[in-house]
Amino acid sequence: MAFLQLQKDLEKLTGSAKLSDAVQDVDKVIDLLTAAREKVASANNPHTTNLTLAKLQNPIKEQLDVLNSNLRHVYKAQNEFNKALKNALPKAQGTLPTEHDPMESHSTLINRAIVMHLLREGQFGVASTFINEAQQQPESPQRPRPTQIRQPESQPSDSEFHPVMSPEYLPPTDAIITDADIPSDLTAFHSQALQSSFADMYSILSALKAHNLLPAISWARENCVELEARGSNLEFELCKLQFIWLFKGPEINGLPNTSENGVQGALQYARENFGRFQHRHLREIRQLSAAIVYSRNLADSPYSSIFDISAAFDEVSASFTREFCSLLGLSAESPLYVAATAGALALPQLVKYNSKTKAKGTEWTTANELAFETPLPRSMMYHSIFVCPVSKEQTTESNPPVILPCGHVLAKESLHRLAKGSRYKCPYCPSEGAVKDAKEIIL
């Protein structure tokens, strides 16, 4: 209910009070002044000047009154929405400890994460400003003045990309980003290779957004060896979607009505490109070819699901992002975005736990783990949580899980406590073995 009311308040704000009206009022004032100036300049007569200025007073006053009235409506609507927003959001119970900031000594890492996020989002201008302001120190011979990040001519403007998603997109480049490209010094983010990678990314994703698959297919073909080594089907998925897009014909895809479009164009494309995929995708290729029989009535055919591409371009964009990021050694999503989102989801639980422990006079002393379960979506769960069945404690980086030759898993410290010298006996089966034979595992 609170959300629905908040949505209504937002619609009321956007519908009744618009800054655009105030801008139009200002434009009208400017037009009146401009017309008066031209009239005075053309007349070149003191009498005409005085008369023009006298006639100008009332219209200017009326327009300024209208402007002030519109601005008052905007301020009033914003204040009302601000009150509604405060009422709709739940108030946090308790406060978080402020005497210690665990990230205080890691400002450089935080700045790096922010810059990387801005670059991944295509916000090159903002990233440049952030780097320059973060690096503002007294100039010295050892530290060069930061230069402006180059905005590629083909790169869309910052305002065109503001993903929430956003899933983050990343495309091709001949230069591989390594740790040397992302050092602690923020000026290194002016690296031409780094900027070029992200600029190329948006070039391909812009094409995908416009249903142009050819740049993405070209990139996948150039990197086919690495993609196949990873077991990726990205190149085939792109070619498959291109076949279906051509198959739909000019009425749907908007491409020129030539022999390279429609069913005949799709068949020609299949002959030229599907041969190299037969060893892995023969069944799917046969289905695509057999669908030609039902070209006049695909919706009622057995292949209707294959040719339903309502979400196909979004899905292939996400796959492209994931594979490209992987080849560059980057995560598919911005680490800053994931950390901020996960933190926002976990914060209410942390505040609640902290207030309760403070009320009971107890303290949270557990290291390297939370004392409660944090509800996070499955997409943000990157590893399993393992609790040692012997010690009943959760494993950590310094005390990882290890698997014994018999298949049972314990915490490393538990194994060493059970061991007598260099040998141990499994607490769950009769097996015995050497401590050195236990292997650390990642869940």
Over residues 244-283, the pLDDT tens digits come to: 999 988 888 888 988 889 888 999 999 999 998 988 899 8
Query: What pLDDT score does 18 carry?
Result: 67
Query: What pLDDT score does 367 carry?
Result: 59
Of residues 179, 201, 189, the one with CA closest to residue 111 = 189
Q: In the Cβ-directed half-sphere of 26, how many Cα atoms lie within 13 Å? A: 6
Average pLDDT over residues 5-31: 77
Query: What pLDDT score does 141 carry?
Result: 42
Contact between residue 357 and residue 382 where contact means Cβ atoms under 8 Å apart: no
Of residues 320, 272, 294, 336, the one with CA closest to residue 109 = 336
Integer angstrom CA distances of residue 289 from 228, 280, 297, 312: 24, 16, 15, 19
Q: In the Cβ-directed half-sphere of 238, how many Cα atoms lie within 13 Å? A: 28
Q: What is the Cα Rg of the chain in Å? A: 32
How far is residue 411's CA from residue 425's CA, in Å, rounded to a whole number? 14
Residue 89 has pLDDT above 80, yes or no: no
Average pLDDT over the chain reads 77
* Domain ranges across the chain: 2-84, 115-135+166-181+196-327, 384-443
Over residues 184-217, the pLDDT tens digits come to: 556 656 556 666 777 787 789 889 999 999 999 9
Domain covering 384-443 in this structure, CATH number: 3.30.40.10
Average pLDDT over residues 316-328: 85
Does this model's pTM top 0.75?
no
Query: What pLDDT score does 348 carry?
Result: 83
How far is residue 173's CA from residue 194's CA, in Å, rounded to a whole number? 9
Over residues 126-147, the pLDDT tens digits come to: 888 888 888 774 444 444 444 4
Residue 37 has pLDDT above 70, yes or no: yes
Over residues 370-410, the pLDDT tens digits come to: 666 677 777 777 666 788 888 888 888 788 899 999 889 99
3-state secondary structure of 171: coil
- Tokens 């479009």, residue? 261
Cα 145 to its chain centre, rounded Å, is 30
Residue 242 has pLDDT above 90, yes or no: yes
Query: What pLDDT score does 364 carry?
Result: 64
Contacts of 70 (CB under 8 A, 6+ apart): 17, 21, 22, 25
Query: What pLDDT score does 39 carry?
Result: 83
DSSP character at residue 140: B
Query: What pLDDT score does 147 carry?
Result: 41
